[in-house]
Structure 1
Amino acid sequence: MARTRLHDQYQLKLARKFQKIKEEQNISTTSRMNNNDFQSNEDLENKCLNEYKQGCYSPKLVNIHDFDFDISKYCILEANDWKKLKQQRQPIIKSDSVKSNIHDVFDELIRKIGSLTDDDLIVNEIVSMDIQPLWSDKYKPYNPPPKIIQGYKFNIFYPDLIDKNQQPSYSLTICENNRNFSILKFHAGPPYEDIAFKIVNEEWDKSFKHGFQSRFQNGILRLWFKFRQNKYRR
């Protein structure tokens, strides 16, 4: 009994598979028939050429008067614009917020200066150090620049070196005319020429803790150094 049941189930599965295969074959045949209904490339080209000759591709000529819009709404005459601007300025000039004549301000300042006596002092405005200054205030009287040169930073670009294995180099020679200065010369090789800079002749501080850098990376020669500061004890 068990064998007969297994045989019947196997026959049912086979029948279902055959039915699916037949359905797939019918779908493929119908799709082939539909593909034959499409036009060939030559027919499409001929159709496009005929439409081009008939003028279907060129834009149609349109008369501007057919559109209903008023150009005066979008265009402003210069005279009307100037008149409107004057009307807007009148209430501002009449108010006390804006001085119509700048000479009045200087006249008032001259009168104040003329009335000063010898005991009077003109004191400049003192800026509080608690306020962080802007970059434009870097070298104001309360933050003067250093009186001596503390070091140099050179970033020289060599992106098109022919010999990538040869690294650029530099040399330092003291000026014969003035030993307070020296010539810093950079050499990289073709296609770049040598360049030189006149710098202060001081002892270099080659400590990496103090910012010394001498390396060539990504086509950039970076030479940063500071001069050695001699500290004296009292």
Structure 2
Amino acid sequence: MLKLKLARIREEQMREVGKIDSQGHVTVKKRPISDDEDDDLEKQVRKKIDLEELESADLDDEQKEMRWRQLSPEQLEVATLQLYERGGYSPTYGDVNDTMPGIEVLDEKSDMEDLLKRRREHRKQPAGVSKIEADMLAIARKGMEGDESTFSVEQPLETQSHLWSDKYRPRKPTYLNRVQTGFDWNKYNQTHYDMDNPPPKIVQGYKFNIFYPDLLDPSETPSFTVTPCDDPDFAVIRFKAGPPYEDIAFKCVNREWEVSHKHGYKCQFQNGVFQLWFVFKRYRYRR
């Protein structure tokens, strides 16, 4: 790029020494330009470029900008090349005392520790779950035992129509349901099975945890209904709440419940979580 600039300067000098003939044509006295003249031209371009003077600490930003504006295109190019060779456009370390007001200077070690802490906190929270929902999941998982497992098989419902659907977008609630299974050591199983060859596991109870964090009227407690299926061994339990939540239903075993609190029965709505926990009655067979 610098050589092109020098070539243009040489062409301008050649035009100055030219003469105009009677017909208006320019005749140029051609003479070779020596290497010494090339060096003189290069020195002419580079002269009066003092980066220390341009970037003096005694100057404010406005004064520095004015000095840069006074440079010719050739001088500006030379200055930028010198700056590139000097620092490669890499930022230099500044003095803490020169920091602008309102800017917090962080220690590198402390900043890395804070970053790692935030990453650990983020890993504890399930992906795609808000903090409120994560707290609700923690409540639902509390006290989960080895004989319990989660299940999420929903029962299809008819198309639901709500009066508030025009104002609020209906959505299904999230949930974390647990089913408790175990062995029923009745007289028949005691006769035909033992600990080495146990009987098949049966469902002994359920723990439904339905989340309603955005219920418009938190004072309205969600409710549930139990409807028998075509198969008498099963029933459909349906949960209903106010806007903006739709009804949700699950298919469960149809047996008689223990409704005593000492047997673990729970039906409550607290902190946006509706919990329905129950176990089935155990029948004792007599001869």
TM-score bracket for this pair, using the shorter chain length: 0.3 to 0.5
Structure with the bigger percentage of helix: 1
Larger Rg: 1
Per the normalisation by structure 1, the TM-score is: 0.42
Per the normalisation by structure 2, the TM-score is: 0.34
